[in-house]
Amino acid sequence: MTEPKTNNNTATVIVSGGAAVTPFTTPEAACAEGLAAGNTDTFLRQGLLAAGLQVFTSPARIGDGQIAEDSNWQGFADGPTPLAAEMTVNSVGDIDKAGAHLARFLGHLETEYDITTVNLVGHSMGGLFSRAAIRVLQESDSNLQVRTLTTIGTPWTGAFAADFAHGDLALAACNGDPACEAAMTGAKTLDATDSEGAGKQVTQRYLAGETDGLGIDGKEQSTAWNDLQQRVLANIPVVTIGGNHFDKPGMSRVWPHDGLVALQSALADNVATEVLPQHRSLTFPNVHSIFFSHALDLPWNLALTWNPLVLEAVIEAIEHP
């Protein structure tokens, strides 16, 4: 593409997903206590920096406001000066509002760090937040160029656990699998206690439409979120990465999956070409995050954002779009 990876004006920005708590970090500065860039981004950040990329992590928290520390499991403290709430993603809030905050953060990188080009790497809903931010940048005629988008475990057409939480999918779709059932019931609890819009918006119904979630549905005026993003990614190379650690016979809306997102959703298999004109898809036998690794007594390196092979794939997506 247009910018080599070593260009000082090119940044790689990691965007965390739903219910994530992540600090703002720069290539030179991260958190001195706990995990350097939080429980989603730390391994990715370290590996991308080692590959010679200029890496920033975008701040995120549960609810509006600034984020300075996370005292919960595998949290962080003593990091760079927190950025304003307007540049911090509310990871349980509205996708488009999160995109607006992320776009302001990218604008901050432009003005304060002379960044002109960005590679976006979004985990889980971070991929949706990134897509929303790209649209905001385009609509505001920003000079920032989004060079590539890589999504990791992103629910392009919804997360099955959210579908259950909102009554669109029965627990029976898990076929008796305890990990699947735990993900569904856990999502319902989280949605009832912490969600400020994200839980409803990460459903197939919201992202892909009321019926079968197969992208453009032929209606004269569609209100599905994906359908409203037509042409946004027209000139941006996209790589979608999904996990299939869990696999049983059953509907593709659920199986196989990474514990939260079905593979066909993570790979954007059913997203219309008007929305996603070009993309490459990669599958790994991993779980969604280290929270799933922890709950299931699995190694952290089985989590998508902590896996060396996924890291290699992300580097490849950035270096050779």
What was the pLDDT predicted at 193?
79
pTM of the model: 0.94
**Which tokens belong to 212?**
């079968």
Which domains are assigned to the chain?
A: 10-319 (3.40.50.1820)
- Residue 65 backbone class (left: φ over 0; alpha: ψ -120 to 50; beta: rest): left
Of residues 298, 227, 229, 293, the one with CA closest to residue 260: 293
Rounded to the nearest 5°, which phi and psi values hold at 55?
-110, 130
In tens digits, the chain (321 residues) has pLDDT values of 334 345 789 999 999 999 999 999 999 999 999 999 999 999 999 999 999 999 999 999 999 999 998 888 888 999 999 999 999 999 999 999 999 999 999 999 999 999 999 999 999 999 999 999 999 999 999 999 999 999 999 999 999 999 999 999 999 999 999 999 999 999 998 888 777 888 899 999 999 986 443 333 444 445 799 999 999 999 999 999 999 999 999 999 999 999 999 999 999 999 999 999 999 999 999 999 999 999 999 999 999 999 999 999 999 999 999
SS3 sequence, 108-151?
HHHHHHCCCEEEEEEECHHHHHHHHHHHHHHHCCCCCEEEEEEE
CA–CA dist 121, 14 (Å, integer): 5
Residue with tokens 């200029």: 54
Side chain identity at 123, as an amino acid letter? H
Burial label, 141 (beta-carbon count in 10 A; 0-12, 13-18, 19+): exposed
CB 261 within 8 A of CB 159: yes
CB 102, CB 130: distance < 8 Å: yes
214 Cβ partners below 8 Å, 6+ apart? 208, 270, 272
The DSSP output letter for 300 is G
Residue with tokens 């706990």: 34
